[in-house]
Structure 1
Amino acid sequence: MKKIRVTIQKYMGDILKYDAIEFGVSKNYLLNYLVNNYSLLRWKNIPIFEGEKEIIQFNLNKENENFYIEVYNRSEFETEAALIRALIYEYISQSKVIRERFIFEKLIKKIQNGIKYKKKIKIKFETAEKIVSPYNILYSSMEVSNYLFCYSEEDENYKNYRLCNVKYVYVLDEKRYPGDAEYLGKVREDFDPFLSYDMSVVIRLSGDGKEKYDRIKTNRPKLIEKLDDRWIVEGSEEKIKRYFSYFMSDVEILSPIKLREWFYTEAKNMIDLYKL
Structure 2
Amino acid sequence: MSTLPLKIKTQIPNYIHEILHKDIYSFNMKKNTLCNLIFENLYNDHDKWSFNREFSRVVQFRLHKSNNELFKQIWNTDVVNTHNRSEYFRNLFATYVNFPAYIREKKLYRSDVQCIERAIKNKKNIIIDYNDEKRKLEPYLIINNTEEEFNYLFGYCYKHGEYRNYRLSNVSCLSVVDENWEHEDREYLNKIKNNFDPFLSHEKEIKVKFTDEGLDLFENVIYHNRPKILEKKGNIYTLECSYKKAEAYFGSFFDKVEILSPSEIRDKFKKNLKKTLKKYKK
TM-score higher than 0.5: yes
Letter paired with 1:184 = L
CA offset digits 1:144-176 (Å, max 9, x no partner): 211110002332210111111112331111101
CA RMSD of aligned residues (A): 2.3
SS at match of 2:23: helix
Q: 1:273 to 1:143 in 2, by over 3 A?
A: closer
1:72–1:80 CA contact under 8 A, matched in 2: no
Segments of structure 2 that go 5 or more residues without pairing to the other structure are none
Quote the offset at 1:90 in angstroms: 1.3
Partner of residue 229 from structure 2, selected from 223, 231, 250: 223
**Range with bigger deviation, 57-66 or 219-228:** 57-66
Query: For 1:2 and 1:87, how far apart are their aligned partners in 2?
Result: 17
Q: 1:199 aligns with which of 197, 204, 208?
A: 204
TM-score (norm 2): 0.87
1:105 equivalent in alignment to 2:110: yes
Q: Give the Å deviation of 1:188.
A: 0.9
d(CA) in 1 for partners of 2:51, 2:73 = 22
Match runs of 1:121-200 below 5 Å: 121-200=126-205
Percent identical residues: 32
Q: Distance in 1 between matches of 2:75 and 2:238?
A: 59
Residues 1:117 and 1:213: Cα distance change in structure 2 (over 3 Å): same
Any unmatched runs of 5+ in structure 1?
none
Counterpart check, 1:59 vs 2:62 = yes
- Tell me the SS of whatever aligns to 1:87: helix
The question of 1:238 aligning with 2:244 is answered: yes
Say which of 22, 26, 30 aligns to 1:22.
26
Distance 1:274 1:25, change over 3 A: closer
Compare 151-160 and 53-62 and name the one that shifted more: 53-62
How far 1:124 moved relative to its partner? 1.4
Quote the Cα distance in structure 2 between the aligned partners of 1:184 and 1:177: 14
- Give the equivalent residue in structure 1 for 2:16: 12
**Counterparts of 2:253 and 2:210, CA distance in 1:** 9
Provide the C-alpha distance between the structure 1 equivalents of 2:249 and 2:185, rounded to a whole number of angstroms: 29
Partner of 1:28, secondary structure, is helix
Equivalent residues, number: 274
- Offset at residue 2 of structure 1 (A): 2.6
Give the secondary-structure state (helix, strand or coil) at the position aligned to 1:42: coil
Quote how far apart the aligned CAs of 1:35 are.
Answer: 2.4
Partner SS state of residue 203, structure 1: strand
Taking structure 1 as the reference length, the TM-score comes to: 0.89
Give yes or no for contact 2:212–2:235 (8 Å, CA) kept in 1: no
2: distance between equivalents of 1:44 and 1:253? Answer: 52
